[in-house]
Structure 1
Amino acid sequence: MITALTRLVEHIEAHLGEELDVAAVARAHGTTEYHLRRMFSSLAGMPLSEYVRRRRMTVAAGDLIGDEELLTIAVRHGYGSTEAFSRAFQAVHSIAPAAVRRDGGPLRTQPQLRFRLTVEGSIPMDTRIIDRPAFRLVGHAARVPLVHRGANPAIQAHIAALPVSEHARLKGLSDTEPAGLLQVSADVDPDYTEGGELTYLHGVARAENSPTSDDLDVIDVPAGTWAVFRTSGAYPDALQTTWAATATDWFPANPWRLRPGPSIVSVLDRADDFSTATCELWLPVERERQP
C-alpha cells in the first residue's frame, strides 16, 4: 500500500494540469480506487481531491510571478476560466491571484507528500476475519456530517430523539451478527472528507429473509468478508483510535483491502454514562490482488 500511495503522489505531480486517473494507478498496484482513496485520506489527513487542489495552487502561485496571461496559467492547471481558477486559488491561499502578482504573497504552500513505512504496531490488534451471508440493517436512518474526532452532535441528536422504548424494541429485533444495537455509517465518500454527509443508521442486523416493519429504514448488505476489530476503553476515543490504526497499522501489514459497503459498530458492553465501552468495528474487506 505504501508503494501504491507513493506512485499515486508521483502520478499527481506528473499530471497536475490533467484529470487524475486514480483507478489506473490502483489497477497497476493490484488494488482499487475506493481503497486507495480511503487509505490516502486516512494517512494524509486530507481528502485526495483537496491535496490535488493544494498542489495545483502551490505550483500555480509560482507561475503568477511573471507576465504570463492568467487564462494561460488557469488552463495549464486544469481550469477552463480565470474565474474558476481564481476561486480555487483564493480558497487555498486566502488571497487573489492579482494580489499575488502585485505583492508576492502571502502564500500557503503544500509540499509534496512522502509516505514512509515506520515500525510501529507494538500493541496487537484484536481482529478476526469472517465471511457473512447477505443480511439487512434495519432501524432509523438520518443524513449527518462526518466528524473524525470526538462525539458527533448530529448523531447524538438523532439517537436522543428516539423514545427509550424504541431502543428496546430495536434490540429485540436483532437476530444475526453483528449482534445488539448498531451504529452504521453508509454512503460515505471514499475521500472520507470531514464535514461531508453520510447515512447514519441506529438499528440492528436481521437475517436476509426476516420480516421488517414498514416504519423502519433498511440497508441491504450483500454477502461478503468482514474484518472485525474489538476495542475497549474511553468512548468514543478508543474506538476512533482503533479506526485510525486500521489504516496506519493493519491494512499495510495484511493482504486485505476495503470494499464498498457500510461500516458497523457493535457496542458489546458500556458504562451507564457511556464514558467507556467495549465495541466491535466491522469493516467490509476483500483480499488484495498482486499487481
Structure 2
Amino acid sequence: MAGEINFNTAAGISCCSVYHFQRMFSFMTEIPLSEYIRRRRLTLAAFELQQSEIKVIDLALKYGYESPEAFTRAFQKIHGVTPTLARQKGIYLKSYPRLSFHITIRGEEEMNYKIIEKEGFTVFGVEEIFSIENGENLRCIPQMWERLLSDGTVERIGQASGRVWNKFSSGIMPVNAVMCHREEKANRFPYMICGFMPESGHLNTEDYTVVDIPTLTWAVFTTEVAHIQILWKRIYTEWFPISSYEPLSGPQLEMYGVAEGGKRYCEVWIPVAHK
C-alpha cells in the first residue's frame, strides 16, 4: 500500500478500463477503490507509528501524502486522533483489514437480458459530471432528474426529439440517459439526460450537448425502475463473471419505458464484446 498505485496497470490486469475497474470494485466491495486504499494506508501508518520511531513527515511521504499536514488531517479523520497522539499506549485506533474473498451461493433470482446489434445514432441533452466517491452519483443523479423534470427541461428535450408521446403511449420514452460517453478524471464520469436526434436532423443544439453513439453490440437488461441501482450491481457481480461477454469502454444507456397496461420499466444498455 506504500508508494504509487497505478490504476491503469491494475485495470489492465483485469482486462478492462480504469473506469470499469473502479466501478466493478465499488459494486463488489461496496466501497470506492480510492477510499479502500486510503483506509488501508492509514491502518498501516497507525501500526508503524506505534511500532517504530519513524518521523511523521517520512510516514506521510511513504503513504502518498504531499505534506505532514495533509497526512495529519486524513489520519485524524480516520482514527480520531493525531499521529502524535497515536504513538501513546492506550489510544484507540481503527484497523481496516485487507479484502478477503468468500464463496457465496447466488443465482436464485433471474436476470432478463438480450444481446443486440444497433447501428450508430445521435443523442442530445443536458450533461453533468459525477463522482463515484462516497456514492455521490447514487445521490446526485436522482436529484438531477428531479431538477430537470421540475424546471421543464425534460419536457423540452422530449419535444425537441420530435417523438409523439402521451399517456396512452408504450415502449421506450422520448427522454432517457447516456453516461460514460467520454473519459473523465479518475472516479468521475459524464451523465446526460437526453433525447434521440430527430429524424429530420433539424435541431438548434446551442443549449445542448450532442453525442454520437457508434455502431455497437449491446447487452440489454430489463428491470423495474425502482430496482435500477440493484440491477447495475448484479450485472457486474453476477452476469459478467459467468457470461461469454466482457464490457467495453464507451457509452452506457439507461432507457426508460412503459409496457402495455402502463407499468414502467428500465433497460440498461452496456456495450460488450465476446471474451
TM range (shorter): 0.7 to 0.9
Displacement of 1:157 after TM fit?
1.0
Task: Using the TM superposition, name which of 255-264 and 223-232 deviates more.
Answer: 255-264
Q: Using a 3 Å threshold, how does the CA distance of structure 1 residues 199 and 98 change in structure 2: closer, same or farther?
A: same
Tell whether 2:119 aligns with 1:124.
no
Task: Using the TM superposition, name which of 147-156 and 257-266 deviates more.
Answer: 147-156
Instruction: Give the aligned partner of residue 86 of structure 1.
Output: 72
Instruction: Give the aligned partner of residue 98 of structure 2.
Output: 112
Pairs aligned (count): 262
Instruction: Give the aligned partner of residue 184 of structure 1.
Output: 178
Tell whether 2:205 aligns with 1:220.
no
> What code does the residue aligned with 1:45 have?
E
Kept in 1: contact 2:173–2:255 (CA 8 A)? yes
Residue 230 of structure 1 is aligned with which of 217, 222, 228?
222
Residue 197 of structure 2 is aligned with which of 201, 206, 214?
206
- The percent of aligned pairs where both chains have the same amino acid is 29
Kept in 1: contact 2:160–2:203 (CA 8 A)? no
Instruction: Give the aligned partner of residue 167 of structure 2.
Output: none
Instruction: Provide the rounded CA distance (Å) in 1 between the counterparts of 2:175 and 2:55.
Output: 60
Kept in 1: contact 2:154–2:175 (CA 8 A)? no
Displacement of 1:179 after TM fit?
6.2
Q: Using a 3 Å threshold, how does the CA distance of structure 1 residues 189 and 98 change in structure 2: closer, same or farther?
A: farther
Q: Using a 3 Å threshold, how does the CA distance of structure 1 residues 166 and 29 change in structure 2: closer, same or farther?
A: closer
Instruction: Provide the rounded CA distance (Å) in 2 between the counterparts of 1:222 and 1:164.
Output: 24
Instruction: Give the aligned partner of residue 257 of structure 1.
Output: 246
- CA shift digits 1:176-212 (9 cap, x unpaired): x9763213334686875xxxx6543222233899443
Displacement of 1:229 after TM fit?
0.4
Kept in 1: contact 2:177–2:253 (CA 8 A)? yes
Tell whether 2:257 aligns with 1:268.
yes
Displacement of 1:104 after TM fit?
4.7
Displacement of 1:270 after TM fit?
7.1
Q: Using a 3 Å threshold, how does the CA distance of structure 1 residues 140 and 37 change in structure 2: closer, same or farther?
A: closer
Map 1:237-248 → 2, pairs under 5 A? 238-248=227-237
Taking structure 1 as the reference length, what is the TM-score of the superposition?
Answer: 0.75
Displacement of 1:89 after TM fit?
1.5
Q: Using a 3 Å threshold, how does the CA distance of structure 1 residues 72 and 209 change in structure 2: closer, same or farther?
A: farther
Tell whether 2:130 aligns with 1:138.
no
Taking structure 2 as the reference length, what is the TM-score of the superposition?
Answer: 0.79
Classify the secondary structure of the residue corresponding to 2:256.
strand
Instruction: Give the aligned partner of residue 4 of structure 1.
Output: none
Instruction: Provide the rounded CA distance (Å) in 1 between the counterparts of 2:13 and 2:141.
Output: 38
Q: Using a 3 Å threshold, how does the CA distance of structure 1 residues 47 and 168 change in structure 2: closer, same or farther?
A: closer
> What code does the residue aligned with 2:251 have?
P
Kept in 1: contact 2:256–2:266 (CA 8 A)? yes
Instruction: Provide the rounded CA distance (Å) in 1 between the counterparts of 2:272 and 2:154.
Output: 34
Q: Using a 3 Å threshold, how does the CA distance of structure 1 residues 170 and 250 change in structure 2: closer, same or farther?
A: farther
Displacement of 1:26 after TM fit?
3.6
Task: Using the TM superposition, name which of 137-146 and 117-126 deviates more.
Answer: 137-146
Displacement of 1:213 after TM fit?
2.4
Task: Using the TM superposition, name which of 209-218 and 250-259 deviates more.
Answer: 209-218
Instruction: Give the aligned partner of residue 10 of structure 1.
Output: none
Displacement of 1:45 after TM fit?
1.0
Kept in 2: contact 1:138–1:217 (CA 8 A)? yes
Kept in 1: contact 2:123–2:212 (CA 8 A)? yes
> What code does the residue aligned with 2:112 have?
D
Displacement of 1:88 after TM fit?
2.3
Task: Using the TM superposition, name which of 209-218 and 152-161 deviates more.
Answer: 209-218
Instruction: Provide the rounded CA distance (Å) in 2 between the counterparts of 1:118 and 1:170.
Output: 48
Q: Using a 3 Å threshold, how does the CA distance of structure 1 residues 68 and 259 change in structure 2: closer, same or farther?
A: same
Instruction: Provide the rounded CA distance (Å) in 1 between the counterparts of 2:130 and 2:18.
Output: 24
